Amino acid sequence: MSSSSPWDRLSNPSTQTDLSIIRVDNEHRWDLYWARSQDHRLLIARLKGRVSVPSKLPRFKGVWLSVDTSATGIVRSLMLELLDDQAEDIFRLLCQDIIEATRRAHSEQELVQEMVARTWMWHRFLQKGKSGLLTSEEQRGLIGELTILKQVCIPVYGKPFAVEGWTGAVGTARDFEFGATCLEVKARRAPALPFVEINSEFQLDPDGLDALFLYVIDVTASSDATGLTLNSIIEFLRDELTVEGEALELLDERLMAAGYRLTDDYSEWHWAIGESQAFQVTEDFPSIRHSSLFSGVSNVEYRLSLQQCQPFEVMQSRVETLLGETKHG
């Protein structure tokens, strides 16, 4: 281990269940600690209030983000743990990134969001190919989400709250979460494609929600060199948010968490954005629910027939009305 490692200052605990800890920085407003167990090194954020944590958290290259909860299910801490010493250099850089990024968090909920977002950002950067760029399918999905952000969420919720609600990039079950009102977005390659891929049993599970909508949007590759690129779409959206300082900063953080860097060049890929359909996910909607699975079954992926969804299609005006009714809920 490098002599500059912060964990060198910690003694090795005497038992498997003990931790040695030291506060990261006395000037940091939040309770962040370097910690060491007999086998692993950690960065721990201790929490005093109630917070919401995404159900899916990143794990990669010997790094694991997890939660510690009380007997009543209240999250007491968020723990970033190094499981493989070979990844220590990356782990240390990630920890330092999180420490600096969380200095500007205004609440424990923002602290959690920043910690999760930064870990997802590193996860996606490390998982990308040699080019360091998003694949064409990842670009398609991101374009779909940004289109719905611009066309649906911002008009209803306003720019800052709409961007804050774009949480899929940081690992939440759905792409947009506004309290108990959620939207899931699926970008498909061609209008003729009769299905969409659902990635978990939570994405289209309406249990406990006031409203849940599935948006299916056509995003197809274009041979027109003057067509849209991921760069041009993001540049346009960032220009729209220029006067909204915090919203623009949050958008950039969400984009980084999704694996996009402002310096990336996507000029080789051109896209055409087509029509979108909205479906209201009710109790009768054809989807797999978490509550219907046998114990031990999770991370379910399946194809959903769009033909079977037709009875649940709603006009965008109806979606906007329902979103507007719940935005202060």
Of the candidates 62, 120, 48, which has an alpha carbon nearest to the alpha carbon of residue 91? 62
Of 127, 145, 162, the residue that ends a domain is: 127
214 in the same domain as 160: yes
Whole-number pLDDT of residue 2:
47
User: Do 309 and 193 share a structural domain?
Assistant: yes
Q: How many CA atoms lie within 13 A of 234 on its CB side?
A: 23
Structural domains in the chain (count): 2
Q: Last residue of some domain: 70, 96, 127?
A: 127
Question: Is residue 91 located within the same domain as residue 223?
Answer: no
Residue 293 lies in a domain: yes
117/33 same-domain check:
yes
The answer on 118 and 140 residing in a single domain is no
CB neighbours (10 Å) of residue 33?
A: 18
Domain residues for the domain of 47 are 6-127
Judge if 26 and 82 occupy the same domain. yes
- 140 in a structural domain: yes
Asked if 215 and 183 count as a contact pair (C-beta separation under 8 A), the reply is yes
Evaluate whether residue 223 is within a structural domain. yes
Please report, in tens digits, the pLDDT of each residue of the chain (329 residues total).
Answer: 444 689 989 998 888 788 999 999 999 999 999 999 988 999 999 999 999 888 788 888 789 999 999 888 899 999 999 988 888 888 998 999 999 989 988 899 989 988 998 898 888 777 765 567 889 999 999 999 999 999 999 999 999 999 999 998 887 889 999 989 999 999 998 777 799 999 999 999 999 999 999 999 999 998 887 789 999 999 999 999 988 778 898 899 889 888 888 888 999 999 999 999 999 999 999 999 988 999 888 889 999 999 999 999 999 888 888 888 766 54
Residue 150, domain member (yes or no) = yes
Give the strand pairing for 313-314 and 271-280. Answer: antiparallel
- Same structural domain, 208 and 102: no
Same domain flag for 164 and 238: yes
Here the tokens at position 78 are 């968020």
What CATH code is carried by the domain that includes residue 91? 3.30.1460
Please tell me whether residues 108 and 171 are part of one structural domain.
no
Q: CB 83: neighbour CB atoms within 10 A?
A: 14
Q: Which of 324, 62, 68, 76 is nearest to 210 (CA)?
A: 324
Sequence-separated (6 or more) residues with CB below 8 Å from residue 252: 238, 262
Cα(311)–Cα(318) distance, rounded to whole angstroms? 15
- pTM to 2 decimal places: 0.77
Residue 1, domain member (yes or no): no
Q: Determine the pLDDT at residue 328.
A: 52
